[in-house]
Structure 1
Amino acid sequence: MLTAILFNDTSHNKHHGCQIVVRQIYALAQQAGIRIVKACPMRHDWRRDEALKREIAKVDLCLINGEGTIHDDAKAARILVELAPFCRERNVPCFLINSVWQRNSMEMVEAARSFSAIYLRDHHSQAELARSGLASEVVPDLTLSAVPPPAQQREGLLVNGSFYEERTQEAWRLYRDADGALQYLSIQSMPQVQWGKGFTGYFWRSLRSLFKAWRARYKARRMEEFGRDLPVRQIKAMRWRYSFATSEQFLQRLAVSRGVITGRFHCVTLCLLSETPFFAIASNTHKIEGLLDQCGLSGRIFSDYASAFASAHRIDFSAQEKQAVRRFVSDSAARARQMFIQIAQDVRAQARQ
């Protein structure tokens, strides 16, 4: 069994999509003969962790879960990409997986040349990196490799917020003005306890975070209904009130709805997984556009929530769209499995050289 360290473990993030992604990374790696012996939480700066640097030199490979981090030369993006040359100097294969790539500098590109392989979530990211002379493969988001919920009788429309606070306020106003025609759904989830990840400090921190989250959710569900014009300071409480504690419950809620209007990337991927019709609102990178282009649903993206709701009468998937979704999800899951198999093969081949 190969040993690996995972970087940018987002499972502590209070977000169903991130938690499903990390769960799939562990499962698919294990199936391919890779055991993750340590997982670095998101925003953990390995450059300042001397003990972690020594551990990197002892494992067979490093995996970086890029998700939506690698864009605009962000600090978190630089921390992750700078790991590649560090690993190469120590002859440790380093792989960027499940990532976006957008608007990064040539300095970032040069560091990325040290990756053993790069697997991006969409063709837009692949094309941008290719313009800098770097090859990559496309493997759609790893949530699409999860087990879908069982099919259910569908009814009712849902609206979900966005990465942006002002967009979330827009979604909330739509919900309040819809006079019962919409139900609000938050993608927020309870944080997961970081047990067995190799960081004792983060374990205790995650326990505190879980306690605070339960308390916040309890209080939010007992508050008076939020007004139509939702202040930014109340967005967190609103998200807790309309949340589901587990990913299974969240997926089941999608599976019984007729359709969803959302500005969240992972809400879109989970709609695809559950074959739930949706309309999407653009997010902070090209990740949603890239996803919909790949599965042939580019006509399902709107510039604002009001326009999407005005077209809700046609939200149902056509027979052709449903077939396209099934093919895309099936192909995405197969690509995800093959990615980890290929990574394991590459590492073993390098070890024999």
Structure 2
Amino acid sequence: MILSVLIVNDTRVDRHHGCSAVMQAIVRLLARNGVDRFSFLPAHSDWRKMSDFRRFVSDFDLVLVNAEGTIHHDREAGLRLLEIGGVTRSLGVRSALVNAGWEGNSPSLLSLLRNFDFISARDTRSAVRMRASGEVVRVVPDLSIWAARDEGFRPLRCNRDICKLGVTDNVDRFKSLFLEKLRHMNSGQSVSIGYAAKGTKGRLSFIRDGISIREDFSNPYRLVALLKMRNRLWKSSQEDLHRFIQEISGFSLLVSGRFHACTLALSVGTPIIALPSNTDKIAALFEDAGLDSWRYESVIDSDHIQRVKEAQWSDAEYQSLSAYLESASVLTEEMFSDLAKLMRSK
């Protein structure tokens, strides 16, 4: 039996290692469970403008919607993903919403979950919110964790003699500037979860992504600081996912405002403290992994960084983290096995 899957919200177009890891996991796990034919609907594309979308979708055994961090605070992009469930339901095509974060959404969005045949959230907080719909929602940790494991990485305890600090940016450019200041004060290394397309155009586009033309051009001091920071991130970026994870594994501490930098750091056992992103997804991840709350609730300054570099992981944290990562692998593989059974049950 030939199985075919349409993967909606292919986030690889964002040129982001977390997105690449998630998509790599989805494709590899579907293939290992007997899927022969794949089609992809890129992130940011609007299926509602495709005149033949219903006919196109009807050819597949499963429409898999990769939610990632899209469905929060009633965003139009989140609504667009959820509305696909109604189309698949009307056509009798199986559908799955996977790897979802969920925060700040209205009941109208919650009601759309009923159209999916399978639903998974990537953290317990999101699952609890989604279960208010009355639907069954599994908790399966973010798929980037499985991808790192499939690349051969394991959570090794850091050598305390290594004092190498890595610092990422944040989706909020003001928080990014704060993190950049900390990096400079503590002689840290810039870590870029994103990477540019090749050539001058790719570099300029990468630098431009972190700047608001409407707001920042009226503040020359901030504009210069942002340009310097984005250029430094560009210089530190790389396209290869395996090499990026290796880079993260070499730090004695990662200070991060990026969710997927956190998932990949945890996958290799790199100690971490975090600044919130655009939702509570980092706090939810750390809670599920059994990490101490000060890693995501404390005020981050230079003194805090030095204390954390000395503390590394506690024994309890490391044991919880190891168990979480092992469970993530099992739950992820079980989920894709069940999705294959769902397709074959038509």
> Residues 141-156 of structure 1 correspond to what in structure 2 (within 5 A)?
141-146=142-147, 147-149=151-153, 154-156=162-164
Provide Cα deviations, 1:176-202, integer angstroms capped at 9, x if missing partner: 222x3x222221224xxxxxxxxxxxx
| C-alpha separation in 1, matches of 2:176 and 2:108 | 34
Aligned to 1:204: none
Distance change (3 Å), C-alpha of 1:228 and 1:177: farther
Distance change (3 Å), C-alpha of 1:188 and 1:304: farther
Answer whether contact 1:279 1:302 (CA < 8 A) is retained: no
2:48 corresponds to 1:47 = yes
Distance change (3 Å), C-alpha of 1:49 and 1:30: same
Q: Which of the residues 180, 183, 192 maps onto 2:189?
A: 183
Aligned to 1:112: 113
Answer whether contact 2:292 2:317 (CA < 8 A) is retained: no
Q: Which of the residues 268, 290, 296 maps onto 1:301?
A: 296
Aligned to 1:157: 165
One-letter code aligned to 1:118: I
**Which has the larger displacement, 107-116 or 136-145?**
107-116
| C-alpha separation in 1, matches of 2:278 and 2:258 | 10
| C-alpha separation in 1, matches of 2:278 and 2:28 | 29
What secondary structure sits across from 1:305 in the alignment? coil
What secondary structure sits across from 2:244 in the alignment? helix
Deviation of 1:34 (Å): 2.2
Aligned to 2:212: none
| C-alpha separation in 2, matches of 1:252 and 1:166 | 28
What secondary structure sits across from 1:113 in the alignment? helix
Deviation of 1:149 (Å): 3.5
One-letter code aligned to 1:120: A
One-letter code aligned to 1:301: Y
2:300 corresponds to 1:292 = no
Answer whether contact 1:282 1:301 (CA < 8 A) is retained: yes
Aligned to 2:215: none
Deviation of 1:325 (Å): 1.6
Aligned to 1:320: 316
Answer whether contact 2:98 2:121 (CA < 8 A) is retained: yes
2:67 corresponds to 1:88 = no
Deviation of 1:70 (Å): 0.6
Deviation of 1:229 (Å): 8.9
Aligned to 1:24: 25
What secondary structure sits across from 1:261 in the alignment? strand
What secondary structure sits across from 1:11 in the alignment? helix
TM-score by length of 1: 0.85
Aligned to 2:332: 336
What secondary structure sits across from 1:346 in the alignment? helix
| C-alpha separation in 1, matches of 2:201 and 2:298 | 32
Aligned to 1:173: 181
| C-alpha separation in 2, matches of 1:235 and 1:51 | 44
Provide Cα deviations, 1:330-350, integer angstroms capped at 9, x if missing partner: 11011111111101112222x
Distance change (3 Å), C-alpha of 1:213 and 1:33: farther
What secondary structure sits across from 2:102 in the alignment? coil
| C-alpha separation in 1, matches of 2:207 and 2:336 | 42
| C-alpha separation in 1, matches of 2:8 and 2:311 | 38
| C-alpha separation in 2, matches of 1:218 and 1:73 | 27
Distance change (3 Å), C-alpha of 1:219 and 1:273: closer
Q: Which of the residues 304, 307, 312 maps onto 1:311?
A: 307
Aligned to 1:269: 263
Deviation of 1:291 (Å): 0.8
Deviation of 1:292 (Å): 0.9
Q: Which of the residues 276, 285, 293 maps onto 1:282?
A: 276
| C-alpha separation in 2, matches of 1:213 and 1:247 | 22
Distance change (3 Å), C-alpha of 1:122 and 1:284: same
Deviation of 1:234 (Å): 4.3
Structure 2: state its 5+ residue gaps.
Answer: 209-220
Answer whether contact 1:71 1:101 (CA < 8 A) is retained: yes
Deviation of 1:235 (Å): 4.2
Answer whether contact 2:203 2:234 (CA < 8 A) is retained: no
Structure 1: state its 5+ residue gaps.
Answer: 191-208, 221-226
Answer whether contact 1:173 1:229 (CA < 8 A) is retained: no
Answer whether contact 2:114 2:133 (CA < 8 A) is retained: no
**Which has the larger displacement, 333-342 or 319-328?**
319-328
Answer whether contact 1:119 1:138 (CA < 8 A) is retained: yes
Answer whether contact 2:256 2:274 (CA < 8 A) is retained: yes
| C-alpha separation in 1, matches of 2:105 and 2:206 | 41
Answer whether contact 1:259 1:277 (CA < 8 A) is retained: yes
Answer whether contact 2:111 2:133 (CA < 8 A) is retained: no
**RMSD of Structure 2 on Structure 1 (CA):** 2.5
Distance change (3 Å), C-alpha of 1:31 and 1:12: same
